[in-house]
Chain A
Amino acid sequence: DTEVTQTPKHLVMGMTNKKSLKCEQHMGHRAMYWYKQKAKKPPELMFVYSYEKLSINESVPSRFSPECPNSSLLNLHLHALQPEDSALYLCASSQGLGYDVYTPTTDTQYFGPGTRLTVL
């Protein structure tokens, strides 16, 4: 099973709302990722978690707050978003980060279907 699930599939929120995106994988992967994808653009990395600890933050605004409650779950908490934050948010997971001694360098990232976010 190479499935990464994301909920909700679609989300519409106002600029004053607080919402959360959820990502789940049951492949035993220890690295999880959040990407943001604007229309007709490639995905842009936002955050990387490794062994439930934040490993990379690509200078993402604080209105995006990631959380990794356990090795299978990854959340993205949203607060006071702007209309320009409207995008497809993709979650991915991999066995490891690809450069530690326990996982191969070519570790594959498996992507979920994404959450389509619209900020009004």
Chain B
Amino acid sequence: AQSVTQLGSHVSVSEGALVLLRCNYSSSVPPYLFWYVQYPNQGLQLLLKYTSAATLVKGINGFEAEFKKSETSFHLTKPSAHMSDAAEYFCAVRRSSASKIIFGSGTRLSIRP
């Protein structure tokens, strides 16, 4: 079965520091991978998605993620954290033949002034 594992339920970084949120997937077929962000008391917003067109995917708000098949990873990064990046981040996977998205357990990102 397809799944994603997010390492670290809580990540705290200083403002201006690199943000790295980890996601590993398990899949026997090429996966379709997504990163969503959820701000407090809001719904989910798509940050970026991997479509197999390019291994380095750029998303909104300066985030990007790199698909590494050899490591079965799809980590999310941002060079310089802003206070407004504080939120919950979900990695998700979907098979090519299914409509169901499987979400990871989420990582809460805190930004220190």
Chain A residues with CB under 8 Å of chain B are 4, 6, 31, 40-43, 45, 48, 50, 55-56, 90, 92, 94, 97-99, 105-106, 108-114, 116
Any chain A CB within 8 A of the CB of B96?
Answer: yes
Q: Which of B36, B44, B45, B99 contacts A55 (CB 8 A)?
A: B99
1/0 per residue, CB under 8 A from A, across B11-23: the answer is 0000000000000
Number of inter-chain CB pairs below 8 Å: 57
Chain B residues with CB under 8 Å of chain A are 32, 34, 36, 41-46, 49, 51, 90, 94, 96-101, 103-106
| Chain A: minimal CB distance from B98 (Å) | 7
Query: In the complex, what residues of B have CB within 8 A of residue A106's CB?
Result: 32, 49, 51
Query: In the complex, what residues of B have CB within 8 A of residue A40's CB?
Result: 106
Query: In the complex, what residues of A have CB within 8 A of residue B99's CB?
Result: 31, 48, 50, 55-56, 94, 97-99
| Identity of the chain B residue whose Cβ is nearest the Cβ of A105 in the assembled complex | B96
Q: Which of A31, A42, A94, A110 contacts B105 (CB 8 A)?
A: A42
A105 to B33, CA, bound (A): 11
Query: In the complex, what residues of A have CB within 8 A of residue B41's CB?
Result: 116
Query: Once the chains bind, are A45 and B101 in contact (CB under 8 Å)?
Result: yes
Query: In the complex, what residues of A have CB within 8 A of residue B32's CB?
Result: 98, 105-106
| Identity of the chain A residue whose Cβ is nearest the Cβ of B90 in the assembled complex | A42
